[in-house]
Amino acid sequence: MTRPDLPKAILTDIEGTTSSISFVKDVLFPYARRALPGFVHARGQEPGVRRWLDAVATEMGGMCSDRMIVEVLQGWIDQDRKHTALKALQGMIWADGYHSADFTAHIYGDAGDALKAWHAAGIPLYVYSSGSVPAQRLFFGHSDAGDLTPLFSGWFDTEVGGKREAGSYRRIIEAIGQPADEVLFLSDVVEELDAARDAGLRTVLVDRLQDYPAPRTGEACHGHARVEGFDALGLPA
């Protein structure tokens, strides 16, 4: 028998939610920043790469040399811009890092355990991250807890829309095929949760002390439920 209060699906963010912000900022971003010039030089004429470089050039107003595009992209990495073109290119670059075992993706122990338990309990799991879908697959495919990709039923990135826009969550709900109020969204970013709630989803703020040393309680929660780890979610484990 299924418990009526259990969500029919769980949608999770990655950075700051399943995994530490510091791994993304201190390992993944510097790796991509360093590798960008060589990557663009070696693969910049491949259509799947050129498409994103051209998107950056268009955003900069038109004709740009590859060197200028690389500088723009490195600037966006420094600013943590969640731009779809940057995220697509980062994903391609990180593939080398994962495949040559330069690093594995960080995942909090409680997150790995809960994801496995929810999957075993039959709750479909989905990812929605600013990282591109290929980057998400690499991330969970080469995590500290091994290959977790079989746990997930679907993947969403900013090609579905920005994470702070309610329309993105409506499109995700349509793709998942469950009523919005039966889907639980987990994120470390209150504005993402606001947008998901506007679209009718259940929401929980994951407020990890390792990532956010000043707890976001009271008004800072915007009325979302708040936990400091997945084990506090009270779902079957």
Ligand X SMILES: CSCCC(=O)C(=O)COP(=O)(O)O
- Which residues of this protein are in contact with Mg ion, per CB under 5 A? 13, 15-16, 188
Report, in angstroms and rounded to the nearest whole number, the Rg of the chain calculated over CA atoms.
18
Distance from C-alpha of 109 to C-alpha of 119, rounded to nearest angstrom:
16
Using an 8 Å Cβ cutoff, are 197 and 167 in contact?
A: no
Among residues 207, 210, 19, the alpha carbon closest in space to that of 106 is found at 19
Q: Which is nearer to ligand X, 28 or 235 (CB)?
A: 28
DSSP state of 154: E
Q: How far is the CB of 172 from ligand X (least distance, A)?
A: 13
Q: How far is the CB of 20 from Mg ion (least distance, A)?
A: 11
Query: Does 82 help bind ligand X (rule: CB under 6 A)?
Result: yes
Considering only residues 135 to 194 of the shown chain, the ones binding ligand X according to CB under 6 A are 135-136, 139, 163
Query: Does 207 help bind ligand X (rule: CB under 6 A)?
Result: no
Residue whose structure tokens are 């355990």: 113
Q: How many residues bind ligand X (CB under 6 A)?
A: 16
- Residue 97 contact partner, candidates Mg ion, ligand X, none, CB within 5 to 8 A by sort of partner: none
Sign of CA dihedral 144, 120, 110, 24: positive
Residue ranges binding ligand X (CB under 6 A): 13-16, 24, 28, 82, 87, 90, 129-131, 135-136, 139, 163
